[in-house]
């Protein structure tokens, strides 16, 4: 048995992969700051509710839970982000082991940890982490149901589908996948008629009912936001070609091309992947459906949406790469190992190259146009210095710690609210719907500062003055540098009524 065979067959390999993955990702994360989007989610966690504008509440609850264990909120957010990424890897291993075997499972997690999405992307704590975690855990109970022929596993499956829906509404795709899978397979079709299926649906409804009721009380705001986000039914998205390009960047050009090549070569068919057992055939059909149904939704969302979004595609490639991992393990069993090593090597090299290029772009403060504003590399450095400068400006002008920070858009005020020591509440001038915890009356009566980018301050100052019907006093300018270059320039004003 070769060294590679021993590693792939060892029950201790997953522990080695997880420890290496966690320590590597956390060490890299220490170099970066919390991004504004994650900071916005952290603001939610300070005000636990059954729903929010963009997403259900599970992300905020998880952030609040992790924060209990850390006196330093920044350390807690970084630890929590990598922790949930590691849990995804762990449960992906368990699911793959139950679906196939230990060798396919360790190959599957090795594929995942070499993907940019799970390496570079591990520093972003978003609802997708909880969504993917619950999606993969639901896989585990489908695998147990297939192997044990015990319908009671569906009850636990439905519980995690419900939790997934509290993470992201896209979890509804799993319900569609399983419904079609049961209807298409006579072996499990009868399961739909058993009482456990009805109880399972009831479990899902009980879990998601508080969020549904919250939406009802708030004019279905979160449902409407997500429908408009993914399916605005507008003209064809001119950026749609980038949807295909970004797949090769985010999910590794090596494994993405390898998967589609093997699929086109009919090496991932049921006859190639499954053995002669009924359970193996059911597993293959389930993974095919759970890969291609989200893919169809993702293509439609990006074709008719107003921006490029890969969120719905994550679960597709989980299924695709698990099938690929099974194929690779069979190839290794047949002694065809050279090509597999080459693909893995290429994937690792491309991911390292991508990290290197990202570092160069970060040094030059330049972000390619195909990257959206939310993942701009400029958003991951210098926030602690910026917050310190703003606090120093306030102190120099005898302005005590502000209770509110006003900015044009919500992400800037959120990240400043995270990094300033007293954590002032954010207030957005253009995203008024996000000001649930910073009403105009409270901001006007409280101690508030206005922060704006240098080139936009004139117009923003006028809008703020009109909203609060009060004058602002100029305090100073915060200029943050990185590698000798200006990262951001911000002007700071104080809303005078609150400090009189």
Sheet (strand 425-428) strand order: 425-428, 404-407, 448-453, 485-495, 472-482
Residue-level pLDDT at 376: 56
Which secondary structure element, helix H or strand E, spans residue 166, and what is its range? none
Which secondary structure element, helix H or strand E, spans residue 313, and what is its range? none
Question: Which residue in the block uniquely carries the two structure tokens 């499990």?
Answer: 188
Biggest CA–CA distance in the chain, Å, is 80
Three-state secondary structure call for residue 70: coil
Token digits of residue 487: 């990262």
220 φ/ψ sector (left φ>0, alpha ψ -120 to 50, else beta): left
Nearest CA-CA partner of 314 in 294, 285, 330, 296:
294
- 326, 273 Cβ separation under 8 angstroms: yes
How would you write the pLDDT of the chain (500 residues) with one tens digit per residue? Answer: 577 778 888 888 999 999 999 998 888 788 888 989 899 999 999 999 999 988 899 999 999 999 889 888 999 999 999 999 999 999 999 999 999 999 999 999 999 988 888 777 777 888 999 999 999 999 999 999 998 888 999 999 999 999 999 999 999 999 999 999 998 888 788 777 788 889 999 999 999 999 999 999 998 989 888 887 776 655 677 777 878 888 888 888 888 888 998 899 888 888 788 776 778 889 999 999 999 999 998 888 888 776 777 878 889 999 999 999 999 988 888 777 777 777 777 677 766 666 655 555 554 544 443 344 444 556 778 899 999 999 999 999 988 899 999 999 899 999 999 999 999 999 999 988 888 899 998 998 889 999 999 888 888 999 999 999 888 999 999 998 877 778 889 999 998 865 55
Which secondary structure element, helix H or strand E, spans residue 170, and what is its range? none
Nearest CA-CA partner of 307 in 214, 245, 373:
373
Token digits of residue 418: 């995270």
Token digits of residue 221: 């705001």
- 314, 117 Cβ separation under 8 angstroms: yes
- 444, 498 Cβ separation under 8 angstroms: yes
- Report CA-CA distances (Å) from 52 to 35, 165, 266, 301, 478: 19, 13, 44, 22, 32
Which secondary structure element, helix H or strand E, spans residue 333, and what is its range? helix 314-333
Nearest CA-CA partner of 39 in 384, 355, 306, 310:
384
Token digits of residue 295: 């893919």
Nearest CA-CA partner of 208 in 161, 174, 154, 139:
161
Cα(135)–Cα(290) distance, rounded to whole angstroms? 10
Nearest CA-CA partner of 229 in 376, 375, 53:
53
Count how many residues are written for the chain. Answer: 500
- Report CA-CA distances (Å) from 57 to 74, 166, 211, 488: 21, 6, 8, 32
Token digits of residue 148: 């044990």
Residue-level pLDDT at 1: 56
Is the torsion defined by CA of 482, 484, 490, 491 positive or negative? positive
Nearest CA-CA partner of 395 in 251, 248, 494, 278:
494
Cα(83)–Cα(118) distance, rounded to whole angstroms? 12
Cα(247)–Cα(85) distance, rounded to whole angstroms? 19
Main-chain phi, psi angles of 370, to 5 degrees: -75, -15
Residue 365 DSSP symbol: T
- 329, 100 Cβ separation under 8 angstroms: yes
Token digits of residue 272: 């190639």
Nearest CA-CA partner of 116 in 314, 360, 259:
314
Main-chain phi, psi angles of 492, to 5 degrees: -120, 130
- For the entire predicted model, the pTM comes to 0.90
Cα(413)–Cα(226) distance, rounded to whole angstroms? 23
């Amino acid at each position: 048995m070769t060294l590679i065979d021993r590693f792939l067959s060892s029950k201790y390999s997953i522990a080695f992969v997880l420890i290496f993955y966690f320590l590597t990702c956390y060490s890299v994360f220490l170099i970066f700051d919390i991004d504004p989007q994650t900071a916005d989610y952290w603001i939610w966690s300070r005000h636990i509710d059954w729903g929010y504008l963009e997403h259900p509440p599970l992300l905020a609850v998880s952030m609040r839970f992790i924060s209990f264990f850390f006196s330093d909120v920044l350390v807690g957010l970084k630890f929590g982000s990598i922790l949930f990424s590691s849990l995804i890897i762990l449960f992906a291993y368990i699911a793959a082991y139950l679906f196939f075997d230990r060798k396919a499972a360790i190959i599957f997690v090795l594929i995942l940890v070499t993907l940019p999405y799970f390496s570079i992307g591990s520093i972003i704590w978003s609802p997708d982490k909880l969504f993917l975690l619950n999606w993969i855990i639901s896989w585990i109970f489908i695998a147990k149901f297939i192997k044990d022929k015990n319908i009671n596993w569906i009850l636990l499956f439905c519980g995690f589908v419900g939790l997934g829906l509290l993470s992201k509404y896209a979890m509804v795709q799993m319900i569609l996948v399983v419904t079609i899978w049961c209807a298409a397979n006579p072996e499990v079709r009868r399961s739909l008629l058993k009482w456990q299926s009805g109880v399972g649906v009831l479990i899902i409804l009980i879990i998601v009912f508080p969020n549904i009721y919250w939406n009802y009380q708030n004019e279905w705001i979160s449902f409407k936001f997500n429908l408009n986000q993914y399916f605005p039914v507008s003209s064809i998205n001119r950026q749609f070609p980038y949807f295909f390009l970004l797949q090769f960047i985010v999910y590794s050009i090596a494994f993405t091309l390898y998967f589609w090549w093997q699929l086109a070569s009919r090496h991932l068919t049921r006859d190639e992947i499954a053995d002669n057992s009924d359970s193996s055939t059911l597993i293959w059909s389930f993974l095919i459906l759970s890969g291609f149904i989200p893919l169809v939704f993702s293509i439609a969302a990006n074709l008719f949406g107003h921006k490029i979004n890969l969120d719905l595609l994550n679960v597709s490639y989980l299924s695709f790469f698990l099938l690929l991992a099974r194929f690779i393990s069979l190839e290794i069993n047949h002694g065809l190992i050279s090509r597999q090593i080459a693909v893995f090597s290429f994937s690792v090299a491309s991911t390292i190259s991508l990290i290197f290029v990202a570092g160069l772009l970060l040094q030059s403060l330049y972000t390619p146009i195909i990257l959206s504003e939310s993942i701009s590399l400029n958003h991951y450095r210098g926030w602690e210095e910026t917050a310190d400068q703003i606090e120093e400006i306030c102190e120099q002008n005898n302005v005590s710690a502000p209770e509110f920070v006003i900015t044009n858009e919500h992400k800037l005020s959120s990240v400043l609210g995270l990094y300033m020591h007293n954590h002032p509440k954010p207030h957005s001038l253009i995203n008024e719907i996000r000001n649930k915890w910073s009403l105009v009356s409270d901001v006007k009566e409280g101690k508030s500062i206005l922060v704006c980018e240098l080139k936009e301050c004139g117009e923003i100052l006028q809008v703020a003055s009109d909203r609060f019907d009060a004058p602002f006093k100029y305090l100073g300018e915060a200029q943050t540098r990185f590698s000798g270059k200006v990262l951001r320039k911000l002007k700071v004003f104080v809303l005078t009524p609150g400090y009189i």
